[in-house]
Chains A and B, each alone.
Chain A
């Protein structure tokens, strides 16, 4: 069955059709939630809630846009609400606990190159998390998930010009925060808040 037919059947209450849509989109919704929260349990909870919201909003979905676009929009709004409710400091401390719980033996067993790569990813994650929410969202959609400009304009309901300016602002902010690390290639600097 084609996606449009699945959506139509789901709107009419067909359980199997909705289950197919869940199967098709669960990873995408989870990944988007994960890229914005950096926590597997939280991302899983949020993804479940997104599908509950979508299920009850389906009768009002008029198929004017793609189902995926509509679902992404629900996901972003839901994760944004979550981020607003959870304080930034709390999120960072969760992240730190998770990172420090990695066993030391594992680290030493890794090759040096992998270690540098890991450290770079870790610093990058922390840098993203202290960016304003709208910049986190645009980086997640474009640079992490690799969505097209066209998809992003539809999901966020903004013009290509706004995608440009917001994305560039986000990348510039990120580079600014990573400046000490980038100049020393692998140095262990504290990230600046704000």
Chain B
């Protein structure tokens, strides 16, 4: 067996990953090859030193220092909370979108009014219609906003019932 293959066996032996046959092969080779014996000794020294590596004590009050940080993140980085609940929030967001679309369809301006505005071509009336339309859009957006808030309230209260509010 060549020494390059033996180096592989030496390395695998440190992890207890040799078959009985491989163990015998390695022993036999080491007996008659001083170069591979040195290789093995060097690896042994390196691994012993690594395993003896001492670690300093972790700094004190680890948990006590961690808890306020978690609270801070929740307070000032809401995207983290969004990320945290992101997966669960998807169905809720879908519901909000469906609800909003339904509102838009149900509360769109009546047909007669649109026909009326087409019949009257005076600029004053158009301007008036535009203003109305603008107002309607604003109202819709506002309703959307409150609905969003409502959904959020419902969302949080569901969490509360399940005891999943993550206050620290």
Chain B CB within 8 A of A59 CB: yes
Q: Is the CB of B59 within 8 A of A51?
A: no
| Interface of chain A, main secondary structure | helix
Pick from B15, B46, B88, B164: contact of A175, CB below 8 A.
Answer: B46
Cβ of B62: which chain A residues have Cβ within 8 Å of it?
22, 26, 30, 44, 47-48
Q: A13-B166, A120-B49, A171-B46 are in contact. Are A59 and B84 (CB under 8 A)?
A: yes
* Per-position binary interface string of chain B over residues 148-160, scored 1 when its CB falls under 8 Å from any chain A CB and 0 otherwise: 0000000000000
Nearest Cβ on chain B to A125's Cβ, whole angstroms: 8
With A13-B163, A13-B167, A175-B46 known, 15 other A-B pairs at CB within 8 A are: A22-B66, A26-B62, A31-B55, A40-B59, A47-B58, A47-B62, A52-B69, A56-B81, A56-B84, A59-B88, A124-B49, A143-B50, A164-B17, A171-B43, A182-B46
Q: Is the CB of A56 within 8 A of B15?
A: no
In the assembled complex, the Cα of A13 lies from the Cα of B67 at a distance in Å of 13
Which of B66-103 touch A at CB < 8 Å?
66-67, 69-70, 73, 80-81, 83-85, 87-88
Please list the residues of chain A having a beta carbon within 8 angstroms of any beta carbon in chain B. 12-13, 15, 19, 22-23, 26-27, 30-31, 34-35, 40-41, 43-44, 47-48, 51-52, 55-60, 117, 120-121, 124, 139, 142-144, 146, 149, 164, 167-168, 171-172, 174-175, 178, 182
Q: Is the CB of B43 within 8 A of A13?
A: no
25 pairs, A vs B, C-beta closer than 8 Å:
A12-B162, A13-B166, A15-B168, A26-B62, A35-B53, A35-B55, A40-B59, A43-B58, A47-B62, A51-B66, A56-B83, A59-B85, A59-B87, A121-B49, A124-B49, A124-B50, A143-B50, A143-B51, A144-B53, A164-B17, A171-B43, A171-B47, A175-B46, A182-B42, A182-B45
- Nearest CB to that of B159 among chain A residues? A13
